[in-house]
Each structure stands twice: as C-alpha cells, then as structure tokens.
C-alpha cells in the first residue's frame, strides 16, 4: 500500500477518489462509482469529500 495522497494525474475533480483507490489497491472507477451511488443515500458524503480534499496532501 502507498501513502494516502492525491495524485497529480488521473484525477477527475480533486483526486480524492483516485488517491483512496491507489491507497487501498482498488480501481479508481469503482471508488468513483461507489461515491456517486452513495450520494443517493442520506449522509455527509459531500462534506467528507471536501474535508478529504483539504486534508489529503497532493503528490510531489
């Protein structure tokens, strides 16, 4: 596993889903799909995404 960081390449909006996918060894498409599907459920998904965007460092 790699460290949790947002990639400079291969990102769609902020790179949060791509960074999580790389960290846990999953395809980025599956993580993005899970996030989009989770938007139909009640909860703080968007707030968590923005928080991760601010907290996760970008690759060097």
**pTM for the complete prediction?**
0.87
Is residue 39 one of the residues assigned to a domain?
A: yes
Is residue 49 one of the residues assigned to a domain?
A: yes
Is residue 3 one of the residues assigned to a domain?
A: no
- For the chain, the domain total comes to 1
Distance between CA atoms of 8 and 10, rounded to whole angstroms? Answer: 7
Give the structural domain span for 33.
Answer: 16-55
* pLDDT given for residue 3 in this prediction: 85
Question: Could you tell me which residues are beta bridge partners of residue 14?
Answer: none
* pLDDT given for residue 10 in this prediction: 84
Task: Give yes or no for residue 44 having a pLDDT over 60.
Answer: yes
Q: What are phi and psi of 43, to 5 degrees?
A: 150, 175
Is residue 40 one of the residues assigned to a domain?
A: yes
């Amino acid at each position: 596993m790699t460290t949790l960081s947002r990639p400079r390449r291969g990102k769609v909006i902020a790179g949060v889903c791509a960074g999580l996918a790389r960290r846990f060894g999953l395809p980025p498409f599956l993580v993005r799909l899970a996030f989009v599907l989770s938007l139909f459920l009640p909860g703080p998904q968007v707030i968590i995404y923005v928080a991760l965007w601010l907290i996760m460092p970008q690759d060097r």
